[in-house]
A and B are shown apart, each in its own frame.
Chain A
Amino acid sequence: MTASRVHGALRGKELILAILRWILIIFFAAYTLFPLIWLFISSLKTNFEFLSGSPFALPAVPQWINYTNALSVAGLGRMLLNSLFVGLCATVFNVIVASMGAYCISRFRFNGRERIFTLFTAGILVPLNALMVPYFVIINKLGLYNTYGGMILLYCAIGIPMSTFLIRGLMDSIPMELEEAAYIDGCGFYGRFFHIILPLSRTGIVTAATFEFLTCWNEFVFANLIVSSEKLRTIQVGIRYFTNQFSTDYVSMYAAIMISIIPSIIGYVLFQEQIIAGMTSGAVKG
């Protein structure tokens, strides 16, 4: 009898917890979806409606022409492809280089190891705006001004500290015993990296890749700085096509932003299944 009462009390508590849990889940969902919905509604207004009416009113007539505008006038199609190409290449290079570096820092003790890692971590802190002049010079000196290569190299490089940091964090949690066992079985440096560490740190690599790709996708300052040709412009430059010192076309800009978001959301949703697959096949903690 006592036991069942305890059980009942527990149930009541659990019910409250469950309600709280759902309140939280829904609050956060609403909070994050709101911007997207607002953006979509705003992108269907006229500039006059947007500027002079309430920002939360619905458009009188949905202006789908804003989307046509964004696609045709600003030429977003090509920019999307450029962003995709640059982002993917930079991300692949970035995670390859970063996971190789992270592997060394995480698994081996050698002179200067901690100093090197501090260097990498401090790299995350560097405010890149301050580096416009040196980056411009470096890219020019390498002959990569106004090339895909320049953008890919720069994006790959500026993401190295972050990616190394994220991947190392995960590699550290892989038990040493696993690798030692492989070593005893005669597995060499490369073998251990490719067959043990790399598969097990997939989660970290995917996280780093997501971050790196989004950085590339949302980067504007350097995309504008080291490229001059229209053919190479990326999506963030396209979004700003409608901003102007004195006459910003807000609604077309929002349409452009919507267009720029859709591929990354689709990409993320599709990619996510891969991430989960990677995670569940990964190591078990304990």
Chain B
Amino acid sequence: MKLERSDRAPLWAFMTPALVLMLVFFVIPVIYVIVVSFLKWNGINTPAFVNFKNFMLLFRDRAFKRSVINNVIWALVAGFIQVPLAMLMAIILSRKPKGWKFFRTVYFFPQVISGIALATLWRAIYRADTGLLNALLNSVGLGHLAKDWLGTIETAFPAVLIYWVFYVGYYMVIMMADITTIDESYYEAATIDGASDFQQAIYITIPLIKKTSLLTCVTLASVMGLRQFEQVYMLTNGGPANSTSTIVLYMYKKLQDANYGMASASAVILIIVGVIFIVCIRKIFEGRNEEAAAAKKARRALQ
């Protein structure tokens, strides 16, 4: 909508609260972080300007490189495996099978349970001696595969990542809310034409949520993947040998060391990586913008 003159004053009145909060709680603190990323400072001594030294140290540190790689993998898995899984469940439940309300509520539970509980449970599952996963493998005759899942470099990161991928409730709820707003008549028409549920999902549901809740969820999931901290912290604390470290965990450890300079520098890098991600995701989804619009138009013509 074009901005009318009469709208100008209320527009800024509406924007102001959000902008002020953003300024005070994000812009100024982030400027502080950027400034500190060029300093050598432990919080109590006099800060010294060290130019790009903190960034150079970061890129020379294997643990940090591992963290960046882990985060990128995490963001990709979140955006392109977790969200599609969530979408699948959203489509299934939005067809209202028996007990769908119950399941929708249940799927959301992990969001409500505190992270400590989930992490403790999964530690117990992955344990070497009394772990559930090893017991399961033993019982189906795959005992030779049993191992200390979180204590082996090759398996620790996949283990941390995989258990979490199946907690899809949050994204599912967002997409379900979107799907319920789709006009029922589309599906009715499609059913008359003999389209299967699967075809209906591919040709009606997905194109209609792509630009809205799907984009929202993919962006959100990727960002959450990049910001991942709590689960790793409680499950492995980045170990073994930093193989499960993430950028925020790395940053947190530098904060514990009172190495404010390097901690801030890693925060800056996280923000940069994140912005690249957000821009790329937007590009991917907007690339098919016209395609979707065309499909929508075609369907409208059919009606």
Contacts and interface: CB of A to CB of B under 8 A. Distances in A.
Contacts of A125: 223, 226-227, 270-271, 274-275, 278
B251 A130 contact: yes
A149 B260 CA distance: 28
Interface string A146-186: 00000000101110111011100110110010011001000
Contact of B263 (A10, A109, A130, A157): A130
Contacts of A24: 88-89, 92
Nearest to B111: A214
A282 B176 CA distance: 13
A144 to B, nearest CB: 12
- The interface centre, meaning the residue of A10, A123, A160, A286 with most chain B CB atoms within 10 A of its CB, is A286
A56 interface: yes
A169 B215 contact: yes
Given A97-B17, A135-B29, A218-B115, A189 B121 contact: no
Contacts of B197: 14, 17
Interface in B230-251: 247-248, 251
Interface SS of chain B: helix
B32 interface: yes
B255 A129 contact: yes
A234 B108 CA distance: 23
Interface string B25-38: 11111101100000
Given A32-B169, A268-B105, A269-B105, A14 B196 contact: yes
- The interface centre, meaning the residue of A38, A193, A211 with most chain B CB atoms within 10 A of its CB, is A38
B112 A157 contact: no
B192 interface: no
A100 B17 contact: yes
Contact of B117 (A39, A121, A264, A283): A39
B263 to A, nearest CB: 6
B198 A268 contact: no
A86 to B, nearest CB: 16
A169 B282 CA distance: 12
Interface string A253-280: 1100100110011001100100100011
B182 interface: yes
B181 A21 contact: no
Interface residues of A, number: 100
B181 A283 contact: yes
Nearest to B30: A126
Contacts of A108: 1-3, 7, 11
Contacts of B267: 126-127, 130
Contacts of A206: 177
30 contacts: A21-B97, A24-B89, A29-B106, A32-B109, A34-B121, A35-B109, A35-B118, A97-B18, A100-B15, A104-B14, A108-B11, A120-B22, A123-B22, A127-B270, A129-B229, A129-B252, A133-B260, A157-B22, A160-B21, A165-B216, A169-B215, A189-B10, A207-B177, A253-B116, A261-B117, A265-B109, A272-B101, A285-B208, A286-B186, A286-B296
Interface of B: 1-3, 6-7, 10-11, 14-15, 17-19, 21-22, 24-30, 32-33, 43, 88-89, 92-93, 97, 101, 103-118, 120-121, 124, 127, 130-132, 166-170, 173-174, 177-178, 180-183, 186, 196-198, 208, 211-213, 215-216, 219-220, 223, 226-227, 229, 247-248, 251-252, 255, 260, 263-264, 267, 270-271, 274-275, 278, 296, 299-300
Interface of A: 10, 13-14, 17, 21-22, 24-25, 28-29, 31-36, 38-39, 42, 54-56, 97-98, 100-101, 103-104, 107-110, 116, 118-127, 129-135, 138, 154, 156-158, 160-162, 164-166, 169-170, 172-173, 176, 179-180, 183, 188-190, 193, 203, 206-207, 210-211, 214, 218, 236, 239, 253-254, 257, 260-261, 264-265, 268-269, 272, 275, 279-280, 282-286
